[in-house]
Structure 1
Amino acid sequence: MRTVEPFRVGFVTGATPDKWAGVWRERYPREPLELVPVTEADQRALLADGTLDMALVRLPVDRDGLHVIALYDEVPVVVASLDHLVAAADEVTLADLVDEQLVLPHRSGWRPDAPQLEWPPMSERDAIETVAAGTGIAIVPMSVARLLHRKDVVVRPVTDLSTTTVALAWLVERDDERAQRFVGVVRGRSARSSR
């Protein structure tokens, strides 16, 4: 009996492929699906080197040689300790954060006006743990803040930062039957519908 290679779908922190994976497993039980957590820094490279067949990526991503379908936008939020001033607000602007220590570089390149400490590279989880200790703030997509939720931090929307977009991406050269079936699952096509 021939072994079928798993269809490997990566997903960045905060993306939730579970619903689509469930549909795939119902429709194609003989075709194993493997979900692989990836970082934003590695998302493009893992597609390019063939480690992943597809990935839920956070844009922007180098689109050269990729098919990319935008799926949904994410609200940027600030994460701060419970006793931080942002806890008193329902939402904040970047002007409210200009005097803060930003423990994780923000993808937009925004930096507070206050002199910044040199933070070692850290994951979102490490950044939120640092924030919980009362040392600085982090700005992350809402989905990341929800995934890494802690009782000792507050999360508030940052109204003047652009949303981020999660998209489905795969190599043009790997646009095969399985890739198109997964696109169909993500787009909500029924098992009988054609593209």
Structure 2
Amino acid sequence: MTGSEVPPSFRLAYVPGVTPTKWVRIWNERLPGIPLTLVAVAPADAPDALRAGEADAGFVRLPIDRTDLSAIPLYTETTVVVIPKDHLVAAVEEVSTADLADEIVLHPLDDTLDWEALPGRPAIERPATTEDAIELVAAGIGVLAVPQSLARLYHRKDLTYRPLTGAPESRVALSWPEEETTDLVEEFIGIVRGRTVNSSRGRSLAAPAPAPAQPKGKRPAPGGTGSKPTGGKTAGKNPRGGAGAPKGGKGGNPGKGGGKRGKPRGR
């Protein structure tokens, strides 16, 4: 390797709540010689981090500014409302935005839900982050609507959550710079989309598949396959052309070489 050559690597950005463990494991199995590095980014910073080359691809929350970026939507999350365990809402299985009309609904600055109108009553001040808003909910100051993965990420024993109907949902997508769709990016897209290692787009960088094992049993005869003999004469026949015992002579009488002899004539 010369001094100017850089060994290949792949940097994957991800926003809070997204768990890339499964895809990273598959990457490491298929491309053990190309290390994958995870880069944690805030939701609002993810698009600029990709444009700046801080990561080759990343998991983001839609909507984002798609200028110069490609994106493949992957899944949509359920929106939930985070509440104290002793809150009245905790007694029901599901909540609607109308049920929060009298509640202070916190709206952190890093909120990724695309609200047309926030339910409930606004707080005096917006928390800086979702994690800060969780602390306020625990202190009894309002409730918080978030994607379910964030409610799990910031779980506390004194808090719970319920599905929230009538709220926008968060969509998670895989994104990368449009002009930097490299072979490694294509490889990761294939992993996320569930392509197998033997698919047409998944074999260029992965380790070659092992040769199929030979079935156990008799070795094939030289020049042929299976157990069929090769050559001119058929197996099992007498080399002189007869099958089994030699044929008899003309008229059905035994010939010189064979047939069953009759009883001797009496004298």
Q: Greater relative contact order (Cα 8 A, min sep 6): structure 1 or 2? A: 1
* Partner residue in 1 for 2:124: 117
Q: Which runs of 5+ in 1 are unaligned?
A: none
**Aligned AA (2:75):** Y
Q: 1: CA distance between counterparts of 2:172 and 2:119? A: 26
Residue pair 1:4, 1:32 contacting (<8 A) in 2 also: no
Q: C-alpha offsets along residues 37-88 of structure 1, whole Å, 9 cap, x if unaligned?
A: 1111101110111111101000001112221111111001000111212111
Q: Where in structure 2 are the equivalents of 1:20-31 lying within 5 Å?
A: 20-31=23-34
Q: CA deviation at 1:5?
A: 4.7
Q: 2: CA distance between counterparts of 1:114 and 1:102? A: 6
**Alignment partner of 2:135 out of 129, 140, 143:** 129
Residue pair 1:73, 1:165 contacting (<8 A) in 2 also: yes
Residue pair 1:93, 1:160 contacting (<8 A) in 2 also: yes
Q: 2: CA distance between counterparts of 1:159 and 1:112? A: 11
**As a proportion of its length, which structure holds more strand?**
1
Q: Does 1:178 align with 2:184?
A: yes
Q: Percent identity at matched positions?
A: 47
Moved more, 109-118 or 157-166: 109-118
Residue pair 1:78, 1:158 contacting (<8 A) in 2 also: yes
**Alignment partner of 2:68 out of 56, 65, 80:** 65
Q: CA 1:89–1:33 in 2, change beyond 3 Å: closer, same or farther?
A: same
Residue pair 1:7, 1:31 contacting (<8 A) in 2 also: yes
TM-score (norm: length of structure 1) = 0.93
Q: 1: CA distance between counterparts of 2:122 and 2:23? A: 44
Q: Does 1:141 align with 2:147?
A: yes
**As a proportion of its length, which structure holds more helix?**
1
Residue pair 2:79, 2:148 contacting (<8 A) in 1 also: yes
Aligned length: 194
Residue pair 1:101, 1:117 contacting (<8 A) in 2 also: no
Q: 1: CA distance between counterparts of 2:150 and 2:29? A: 28
TM-score (norm: length of structure 2) = 0.69
Residue pair 1:57, 1:169 contacting (<8 A) in 2 also: yes
Q: Does 1:168 align with 2:174?
A: yes
Structural RMSD (CA) = 1.6
Q: 2: CA distance between counterparts of 1:72 and 1:53? A: 21
